[in-house]
Amino acid sequence: MRRWLRVSNSSYQVRAYNIKHGYEVSGFLEMYRLMLQRAIDEIWARIRWVEKLDRFGRRRIIPIIPKDGVFKNHYLRDLLMKDWAYSKHYVDSAIKQAYSIMKSWRRNYIRGERSGKKPTVKKRFVRIKETLYSFRDGKIRVSVKPYKEYLEFDISKAWFLKRVRGELGELILGEKYLTVTFRFKEKEGDVKGRIAWDCNERSLDGFNPKLGWVRVDLTELFHIHRVYELKRRRLQKKASKKPLLRKVLAKYSRREGNRARDSIHKLTAFLSREYEGYIHGFEILKKKRMFNGSKRHNREVAKSDWKTIQSFMAYKSKTMTLNPKNTSKRCSRCGMINAPKGAKYECKGCGLRIDRQLNAAINLYLQMEGLSPSKRLFNELMKAWSGFTLTGEEADESSYELVRSPRLVKPKSYASLSKTT
């Protein structure tokens, strides 16, 4: 896992690696989980619900999380310390994590993505601050009980030490794994340009004025999900009568996830090498908002791996997130909102006829550059159809000037999972 942080106006990266351990820490993790849940309960009990108007003028009840320092640093800390038999710094870590969970819940609640129910901690893990461990001679020593109990992890021969940079950061202790993070400042290299990616069910369509139209075929990735969907469907009818088949279903689900992640790793590694030095822009797509009454449509959307592709690219190249609103409907030449049908986009305002996915990729690219659609800008981007290759078909003489039929051009660059594996 790798992500970008903004600290003191400088770019930082965080890389995380998992180390398998053999310690029995379930009791310690359960105690921490209960303490974390109690902290959330106390914060929840002091939330104020205020009626406010949203941007559409509708009245909504908005939760206000308590930020009083006396409550947070004294009352809550003293309360959690009473029954805590381990190092005191874990209490501070639990309070910090509880507030992080509550802020995340509040943000999603306001967006309409969470209910008004109190968050519940189900997973057992502990976040370990720098003050709770020491790192010497390739060994990490974690304090559990002061001067009494420690956990030691030898990472001197770990495979990632040869390539890792920066200083050791926060640790995350689970029942089977210890997650080790390293933070380092990214070197400010020359940025070659930006590529905006339009995410679709069977392809990723990218655009950059120099590179042109880049299409990434996701058919093989879609095929992986389809194959295991059919396998599960055959067994699900029998699983209700034969409980042992549920283990087989779980095995198929694991295999599907492993194969899909392996393919995405290879694809994103290819893209990061092929377009080294470029910043990649991806839409923030949420599947829940795309579901409708059609089972077929919902299954097609569920097979998509947009978020996984974005997260894998984030630790191999520089990325940024983009707003997908109206990118498929807005004309990339004049900015008019239309309702496209099929693969071709036709603008009723300026007469533009272009591939629908290419149009969306151009809009996303303009968003990355902080620009708005305009005829003059479109003509500069598409000057002589730079970055495209002709298909050899005849032009439609009745079409409007730069407005050419989509069948006249095809993507300049093309990548697929089968070609990169």
In tens, the pLDDT along 218-234 reads 888 889 998 988 888 88
pLDDT higher than threshold 70 for residue 391: no
| Residue 55 · residue 111 · CB < 8 Å | no
Alpha carbons within 13 angstroms on the beta-carbon side of residue 384 total 2
Mean pLDDT value across residues 29-42 = 96
Pairwise pLDDT comparison (238 vs 355), residue with the higher score: 355
Residue pLDDT, tens place only, 56-67: 777 888 999 998
- Report residue 244: phi and psi, to 5°: -65, -25
Mean pLDDT value across residues 191-209 = 89
Query: Under DSSP, is residue 122 helix (H, G, I), strand (E, B) or coil?
Result: coil
Q: How far apart are CA 135 and CA 153, in angstroms?
A: 9
Q: Burial, 136: exposed, middle or buried (Cβ in 10 Å; 0-12, 13-18, 19+)?
A: exposed
Q: So what's the pLDDT on residue 79?
A: 94
Q: Which range among 182-196, 309-323, 380-394 shows the weakest confidence by mean pLDDT?
A: 380-394
Q: What is the pTM of this model?
A: 0.69
Q: So what's the pLDDT on residue 343?
A: 79
Q: So what's the pLDDT on residue 260?
A: 92
Pairwise pLDDT comparison (329 vs 112), residue with the higher score: 329
Neighbours of 208 (CB within 10 A): 22
pLDDT higher than threshold 50 for residue 396: no
Residue 126: which residues within 8 A CB-CB, separation 6 or more? Answer: 28, 29, 32, 90, 93, 172, 173
| Residue 340 · residue 355 · CB < 8 Å | no
Q: So what's the pLDDT on residue 417?
A: 55
Number of alpha helices (DSSP H) and beta strands (DSSP E) in the chain? 11, 20
